[in-house]
Amino acid sequence: MMDNLYMPYLMRIDRITYEAPGVKTFMLKFVNEADQEKFSYKAGQFGEYSVYGVGESTFCIASPPTRKGYIECTFRQTGKVTNALSDCEEGSIIGFRGPYGNVFPIEEWKGKNLLFIAGGIALPPMRCVIWNALDLRDNFKDVTIIYGARTVKDLVYKDELKDWELRKDVKLVTTVDPDGESPDWKGEIGFVPTIVEKIAPSSKGTIAIVCGPPVMIKYTFPVLAKLGFTDESIYTTLENRMKCGFGKCGRCNVGKVYVCKDGPVFTLAQLKELPDEY
């Protein structure tokens, strides 16, 4: 039998972490060691996760390639498949195929400052590249993370946020939308674009990586432009609907560009070349 593109790896759920209401992280290990050995990926790539009998769902690999032996994914319970995933227990077997798509060009960012801006459930795609960068910390100058969610409860990776907060080599700013704060909230209060403007990170020698809901992205780009970021120095990911992940099922294209193959990582300069269909 020749290769079947649609055949997932069997993955065992090794650990489940409850992140926020409806949001969980799975640590997944390959059932077959041989699969594990030939598997490799880079920050920014995604895959198709499946519950057998229910279907497949697309999301990023949330753990960095610098951590070997497992992958992690974080998802919010919203559709048929993510609901079924949410019902899975530690030890359950699910499917994973990938990695697909392009990558964040981390090698090209050597010697630069990194500014990560994320909103809500969009931290996972960025977590992969954050940890990737932190695991290679000496390659970069200042690392700033601005992360916002609607409410304190909605912040994901709470333990890691604490870690980042304590690290001297990371500047972490967390924020929640007005009225989303808890009585003991010590972070910022305000929408992400406002906080970016307030913090005003220097654009000099800095790469900005922005992931979040469309409305957050829409209002963050002009703020970055005001701070002097060029379109080439701003990166984001698109998350169009997909079924196959490899350029055939016909869903994810934005004009001539296939998000699954040419993306999901784009610079703002590239986005500006695309028709408004994402």
Partner 1 sequence: MVDLIKRAKELIETSVVKVLIGYEQGTANKTRALFVEKADDADRLIFDSRCVQNLAAYVTKKEVKEKGKMAIAATLPVMRSIIQLASEFQVNDNNLLVLGITPESKLIEFANLVEVETFVHKYEIEIDARNKEMLDKLEKMTQAERWKFWMDELSPCFKCYACRAACPMCYCSRCTVDFNQPQWIPVPSHELGNLEWHIMRAIHLTGRCIDCDACYNACPLSIPINLLTKKMLADAKEHFGAYQPSLKGDHLMSTYKPDDKENFIQ
Partner 2 sequence: MNIDKRLVRKDSLEKLFDILKQNSKTIYAPFSKNGKTSFMDAKSFAGISTGHIQTSESSKDIAFPRAEKILDYSKNKEGMSVKGIDFADIPEVVLWGVRPCDAIGIGELSSIFNWDYKDEIYNNRLSKVTVFGFSCNKSDEYCFCTSVGGNPGNTAGSDILFTRMGEDGDYLAEIITEKGLTVVSLAQNLFEKSETLEREKFLAEVPVRFNHEEIRKKLDKFFESKEWIEESLRCLGCGACAYVCPTCACFDIQDEAHGKKGSRVRCWDSCGFSHFTVHTSGHNPRGVQSARWRQRIMHKFSYMPERLSVYGCTGCGRCSRACPVDMNILEHLISIQEVTV
Q: Which two tokens stand for residue 167?
A: 């690290």
Q: Which amino acid is at 209?
A: I
Q: Show the DSSP H helices in the chain as ranges.
A: 33-38, 80-87, 123-135, 158-166, 192-199, 214-226, 268-273
SS3 of the chain: helix, strand, coil, percent, to 5: 30, 30, 40
Tokens of 180: 């989303």
Spatial separation of the C-alpha atoms in residues 154 and 22, rounded to whole Å: 9
Query: Is residue 6 near partner 2 by the rule CB under 8 A?
Result: yes
Residue whose entry in the numeric block shows the structure tokens 């993370």: 145
Alpha-carbon gap, residue 117 to 211, rounded angstroms: 6
Residue from 22, 55, 105, 190 touching partner 2 (CB under 8 A): that is 55
Q: Which is nearer to partner 1, 69 or 79 (CB)?
A: 79
Closest by CA to 269, choosing from 205, 221, 223, 213, is 221
Smallest distance from partner 2 to CB 192, Å: 17
> Is residue 5 involved in binding partner 2 (CB under 8 A)?
yes
> Which residue from 17, 29, 54, 139 is in contact with partner 2, where contact means CB under 8 A?
54
Nearer Cβ to partner 2, position 27 or 170? 27
C-beta closer to partner 2: residue 69 or 214: 214
Among 37, 53, 111, 184, binds partner 2 (CB under 8 A): 53
For residue 246, state whether it binds partner 2 (rule: CB under 8 A): yes
> Smaller CB distance to partner 1: residue 150 or 243?
243
| Contact set with partner 1 (CB under 8 A) | 79-80, 83
The residue type found at 123 is: L
- Provide the pairing of β-strand 113-119 with 171-176: unpaired
- Tell me the closest approach of the beta carbon of residue 55 to partner 1, in angstroms: 8
Between 54 and 189, CB nearer to partner 2:
54
Contact positions with partner 2 (CB under 8 A) in 155-214 = 213-214
**Nearest one of 134, 135, 176, 178 to 156, comparing CA atoms:** 176
Give least dist CB 33 to partner 2, A: 15
Measured from the Cβ of residue 28, the count of other Cβ atoms closer than 10 Å reads 24
Give me 125's structure tokens.
Answer: 């795609």
Q: Which segments of 8-54 are extended strands (E)?
A: 9-20, 23-30, 46-51
Q: Give which of partner 2, partner 1, none residue 83 binds (C-beta under 5 to 8 Å, depending on kind).
A: partner 1
Give the contacts of 142 (CB within 8 A, at least 6 positions apart). 113, 114, 171, 206
Contacting residue, 27, 192, 254, 271, with partner 2 by CB under 8 A: 254
Question: Which of partner 1, partner 2, none interacts with 255 (beta carbon under 5 to 8 A by kind)?
Answer: partner 2
Count residues binding partner 2 (CB under 8 A).
46
Is 19 a binding residue for partner 2 by CB under 8 A? The answer is: no
Residue 150 interacting with partner 2 (CB under 8 A): no
Task: By CB under 8 A, name the binding residues for partner 2.
Answer: 1-8, 10, 12, 31, 50-56, 78-79, 82, 93, 95, 213-214, 239-241, 243-244, 246-256, 258, 261, 275, 277-278
